[in-house]
């Protein structure tokens, strides 16, 4: 759903991409630094209960996911390696975000239930990505579903920040519950999509 806004944000960050290229910074370097920033922001602040600060730091580095790709296109260095590196490091970032929230619930959030739900969201996010990657490796298409990565990322960061800012702690577990459901449905949708394609080619 949120992929429709990618063109807009790419234009917004185009000057940044061009500036980095003039400095001789490579797209891969931006990918790595962006991932490190997300991991430090999530694992450094969420477990201590500093949710809003963590969200602001993570969000600042999340946009590197748009900058590095645009840099590669501008410099003519787009490659399968770059796509592989970007997708692989995205998993680290996602794990850090949900892992940091799980640690928050184990610590100051004090809820084994919500910690478990957060871990379920982490696992299902990985399964969602794996289902698509595995399908494409077999020649099928499994993109789509009601909760793609960008949707999940925006939802959890926005609601985590608002929960802390407005002191409405209920927002976070509610968002996690909805993401758990949406991720499960997305995995089922992708399984059924590949099943249909497999039957059509049998």
Cβ atoms of residues 183 and 128 within 8 Å: yes
Instruction: Please tell me the distance from the alpha carbon of residue 100 to that of residue 94, in angstroms, as a whole number.
Output: 10
Lookup: tokens for 61 = 């580095």
The secondary structure element, H or E, covering residue 106 is helix 80-106
Q: Tell me which of 28, 90, 151, 164 is the catalytic residue.
A: 90
Specify whether 151 is catalytic.
no
The secondary structure element, H or E, covering residue 126 is helix 112-137
DSSP assignment of 83-97: HHHHHHHHHHHHHHH
Instruction: State the DSSP code for 44.
Output: H
Place of tokens 């299902």: 124
Q: Is 52 helix (H, G, I), strand (E, B) or coil?
A: helix
The closest alpha carbon to 78, from 87, 68, 88, belongs to: 68
64: left (phi over 0), alpha (psi -120 to 50) or beta: alpha
Instruction: Please tell me the distance from the alpha carbon of residue 186 to that of residue 147, in angstroms, as a whole number.
Output: 6
Catalytic annotation, residues: 90
């Amino acid at each position: 759903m949120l992929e429709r806004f990618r063109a807009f944000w790419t234009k917004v960050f185009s000057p940044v991409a061009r500036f980095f290229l003039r400095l001789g910074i490579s797209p891969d370097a931006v990918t790595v630094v962006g991932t490190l920033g997300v991991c430090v922001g999530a694992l450094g602040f969420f477990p201590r209960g500093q949710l809003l600060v963590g969200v602001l730091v993570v969000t600042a580095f999340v946009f590197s996911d748009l900058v590095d790709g645009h840099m590669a296109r501008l410099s003519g260095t787009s490659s399968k390696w770059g796509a592989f590196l970007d997708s692989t490091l995205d998993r680290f970032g996602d794990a850090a975000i949900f892992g940091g929230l799980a640690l928050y619930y184990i610590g100051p959030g004090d809820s084994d239930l919500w910690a478990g739900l957060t871990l379920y969201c982490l696992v299902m996010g990985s399964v969602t990505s794996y289902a698509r990657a595995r399908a494409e490796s077999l020649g099928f298409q499994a993109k789509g579903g009601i909760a793609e990565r960008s949707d999940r990322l925006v939802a959890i960061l926005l609601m985590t920040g608002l929960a802390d800012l407005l002191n409405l702690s209920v927002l976070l577990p509610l968002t996690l519950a909805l993401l758990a459901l949406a991720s499960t449905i997305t995995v089922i949708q992708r399984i059924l999509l590949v099943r249909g394609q497999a039957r059509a080619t049998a």
